[in-house]
Structure 1
Amino acid sequence: MKAVAVRDGGKTAADLCIIEVARPETGRGHVLIRVTHAGVNRPDILQRRGLYPPPPGASPIMGLEVAGVIEQIVPDPQWGDDIGWKVGDQVCALVNGGGYAAYVSVDIRHLLPVPKGLSLAEAASLPEVSLTVYANLIEHGGLKAGEAVLVHGANSGIGSMTVMLGKAVGARVIATVRGAERIDWVRALGADVVIDTAAGDFIDTVKAEGGADVILDIVAGDYVAKNILCLKPRGRLVQVGMARGNTAEIDVTRIMQKQAILTGSMLRPRSPEEKARLTAEVRAKVWPLIEAGAIRPVVAKVFPFAEVGAAHAFLDSGAHSGKVVLEL
């Protein structure tokens, strides 16, 4: 089958190429998906550069989310006969690796149906952002109706999902973007306040809006100290990315004064059982919002599989608003 490989160290997007490899084995309790589309995400770029190695036992091929068609099912006898899926079903899924390939083996508990009315390309843009944002905004951040959430990089996949899910649960959404051309796009998603950080710092504006109960941050670095200043008493700062680096200097006194909570998480290192639990939560709580139109997929661009290098370069440039998807 065709799959993406990395040559010459992966320092640039031009180091990606298409090769032929064997189909993955489908173990007990897994399904084989014929991939039609794969989401392109920041962790893929980090893995290409050798900065985000796959966990033990995971495919070395990049790609953390896919959409496609079930080709084979290998059931686990303990489940009985009713497994809820059949060969030929259209599905999408968060995977532990291997998404940039014609076929991928997936734990059957991690499957999600393609939401009604959506294309497979749109479905491929949903698993990573849906699970990441639900886990961090709702579970770790505890966002509730009537609270205020601040989200950075609101034009990104994670950011745009945070805006929409925040509004769907009844929160006030304050968003930051870099570049005035993105303000209207983020407002159209439902953000109440959009701040252009290219024109100035966000702290004064957020404070003028009353501060944030929850902050979802993909930036880190010097943003961490700034975020703490923006928190309301008992506010929660949830870290899900490190675009500006994984270290920060903060005034611990501010955390103590505000009784603030600093937390965060990654999806990839979680156990299969934890991912199964989270997938079930997302299917029950987020999928109905997607099918009702309260949350919609935001696909910036779909690239042919052979242009995977161009897809990485586009994402790496920061010129996108929404998700980048590969079409096989």
Structure 2
Amino acid sequence: MPPRRPSLFTGRAKSRNASPSNRNSIQKRRLGEDEPAAHTLRACERRGSIREGREGEREMDAFYSASSAYGAAASGWGYDSLKNFRQISPAVQSHLKLVYLTLCVALAASAVGAYLHIALNIGGMLTMLGCVGSIAWLFAVPVYEERKRFGLLLTAALLEGTSIGPLIKVAVDFDPSILVTAFVGTAIAFGCFTCAAIVAKRREYLYLGGLLSSGLSILLWLQLAASIFGHGTSSFMFEVYFGLLIFLGYMVYDTQEIIERAHHGDMDYIKHALTLFTDFVAVLVRILVVMLKNASDKSEEKKRKKRS
């Protein structure tokens, strides 16, 4: 007969019948045998908690990145959007550089024309007609004759400067700081509206063309009515502010139109620079008129206070 194996009950009975010292040794053995399993369980629990923590951090990061991306997409503005010129091809970017460089040269020529009027008093109706004739001649010359067209642009800018020379002379005689402030304000407004048009989506502001054209026609009709029936100070200032609003809108519209035309192959940087030059001068003249009016009103109030 094979020997019988001790059953669990016999082992338990033996452990019960064993002495206290033997019982302690048995318990220590069992604890020693269970310690590796306990360490393994603890390690697994720690790994699981670490994994859960990492997964939670990843989920939170994904949530915050998605929410920030959604907020930027909803608002349309952000630091990344200011650096994003992917919608503008490199060819169009180089074209815009030429346009703004030509614009700066035209503004310098206009400043020379204003100085010539202050020194020689040559500005007036003849210079205005000469400016219009130069612009018409520029549009009649073919695009490939760049030197001739560039010279006509500088001529038109020079004559434009002499035409607005009387207003600039009044500002210089009254307070030279007004002229500097008006020019800086116009440059800041031009830069801000131009950047807004460049950073915005393509064709986003082109819908303003109809509204601006309607506003410009209203302005022309108001000026025609004022020349026939006369106008007071309030109507004149309304025309000035209304025209300022219109030409600020044209800064945005013309910039996006230039970009869109360049995307379609129209790289006539001289004509585009002339368009922006017209907007810049129109805004500068109106800001200068507003500042001169405010300065004259303040000086009159001071004189009244001194008399009283």
State the TM-score, normalized to the length of structure 1. 0.21
State the TM-score, normalized to the length of structure 2. 0.21
Between Structure 1 and Structure 2, which shows a larger proportion of strand residues? 1
Between Structure 1 and Structure 2, which shows a larger proportion of helix residues? 2
Larger radius of gyration: 2
